[in-house]
């Protein structure tokens, strides 16, 4: 599709949407290959869809060794999100050292931390710098509302795991909806990770192995648009139906917004607010697959 023919609603909904996690399953690429890929994506026609490079704190030095020569060849400052180690304070020290060393070339401006309870959120937040955007990956259990409230009080963000390499790693649409409703009600922005690299819900192999198990994968268009409709107060029943919708022709992407099922509409201004303040991005081990799928359904 000619770049000028991409509708405004598509551009708004998927700008900077993919955080590249090529180091992680199922791709699990070697560091030099993942770094080289990101450099290529930064020069591609679809760089406007690209978010941050995802790397663990434990591999930050390895990343720098592979990427430092590419920094000088890039016209863009590389943006990174770092997965914290169990020692969050040591991770922050590593982040600060990296940002000093590569100032003007690369920056770690986001941190991703795992937390299983309110105390872990409170303890980590008390010692994290204000200038670092921090996402806490939290479990979707009976304590979810308390965890989201703790994030709201600490002015931190949430992270939801949307899948994995086995069918049981994928949360139900009911759990996804509850998570989004709580985050939106508490004004807690969130990102997604794992199992969300196809635009529409679909049955796919969960890894790249020949004998890979298959599973029903959530679609990033479904999830992001469901959040947009939740903002407008639509019922969970309707949101469940949207999250389960596998038909591309159910969605009409126009310059002024998105129409679903020829009846439900979200305006472009609401999409802009959604992406800026609510649903930020999703992590994917592939940047190419989302683009190829979007081309296949005629959105790119």
- Taking the C-alpha atoms of residue 300 and residue 294, their distance in angstroms, rounded to an integer, is 6
Q: What is the CATH number of domain 3-289?
A: 3.20.20
Q: Is 41 left (phi over 0), alpha (psi -120 to 50) or beta?
A: alpha
Each residue's pLDDT, cut to its tens digit, for the chain (300 residues) gives 656 689 999 999 999 999 999 999 999 999 999 999 999 999 999 999 999 999 999 999 999 999 999 998 999 999 999 999 999 999 999 999 999 999 999 999 999 999 999 999 999 998 899 889 999 999 999 999 999 999 999 999 999 999 999 999 999 999 999 999 999 999 999 999 999 999 999 999 998 888 888 999 999 999 999 999 999 999 999 999 999 999 999 999 999 999 999 999 999 999 999 999 999 999 999 999 999 999 999 999
φ and ψ of 134, to 5 deg:
-120, 125
Cβ 220 vs Cβ 196: under 8 Å: yes
Q: For position 1, what pLDDT does the model report? A: 64
φ and ψ of 169, to 5 deg:
-80, -10
Domain boundaries, the chain: 3-289
φ and ψ of 264, to 5 deg:
-105, 130
Q: For position 210, what pLDDT does the model report? A: 87
Q: What is the CA angle 191-197-201, rounded to 5? A: 100
* DSSP assigned state of 212: P
- Taking the C-alpha atoms of residue 163 and residue 57, their distance in angstroms, rounded to an integer, is 22
**What is the pairing mode between strands 279-284 and 190-193?**
parallel
Contacts of 172 (CB under 8 A, 6+ apart): none
The pTM for the full model equals 0.96
Please spell the DSSP secondary structure of 38-95, one letter per residue. Answer: HHHHHTSTTGGGEEEEEEEGGGHHHHHHHHHHHHTT-SS-EEEEEE--S-HHHHHHHH
- Taking the C-alpha atoms of residue 256 and residue 282, their distance in angstroms, rounded to an integer, is 24
């Amino acid at each position: 599709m000619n770049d000028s023919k991409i509708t405004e609603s598509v551009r708004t909904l998927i700008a900077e949407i993919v955080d590249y996690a090529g180091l992680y399953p199922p791709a699990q690429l070697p560091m030099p290959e993942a770094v080289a890929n990101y450099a290529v994506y930064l020069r591609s026609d679809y760089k406007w869809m690209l978010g941050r490079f995802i790397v663990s704190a434990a591999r930050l030095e390895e990343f720098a060794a592979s990427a430092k020569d590419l920094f000088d060849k890039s016209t863009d400052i590389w943006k990174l999100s770092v997965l914290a180690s169990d020692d969050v304070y040591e991770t922050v020290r590593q982040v600060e050292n990296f940002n000093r060393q590569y100032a003007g070339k690369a920056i770690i401006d986001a941190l991703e931390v795992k937390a299983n309870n309110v105390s872990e959120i409170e303890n980590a937040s008390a010692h994290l710098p204000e200038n670092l955007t921090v996402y806490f990956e939290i479990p979707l259990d009976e304590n979810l509302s308390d965890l989201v409230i703790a994030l709201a009080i600490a002015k931190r963000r949430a992270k939801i795991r949307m899948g994995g390499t086995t069918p049981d790693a994928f949360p139900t649409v009911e759990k996804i909806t509850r998570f989004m409703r709580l985050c939106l009600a508490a004004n807690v922005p969130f990102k997604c990770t794992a199992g969300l690299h196809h635009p529409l819900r679909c049955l796919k192999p969960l890894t790249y192995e020949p004998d890979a198990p298959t599973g029903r994968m959530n679609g990033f268009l479904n999830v992001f648009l469901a959040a947009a409709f939740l903002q407008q107060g639509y019922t969970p029943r309707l949101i469940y139906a949207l999250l389960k919708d596998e038909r591309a022709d159910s969605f009409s992407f126009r310059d002024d917004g998105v129409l679903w099922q020829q009846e439900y509409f979200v305006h472009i201004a609401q999409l802009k607010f959604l992406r800026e303040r609510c649903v930020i991005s999703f992590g994917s081990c592939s940047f190419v697959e989302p683009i190829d799928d979007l081309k296949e359904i005629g959105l790119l």
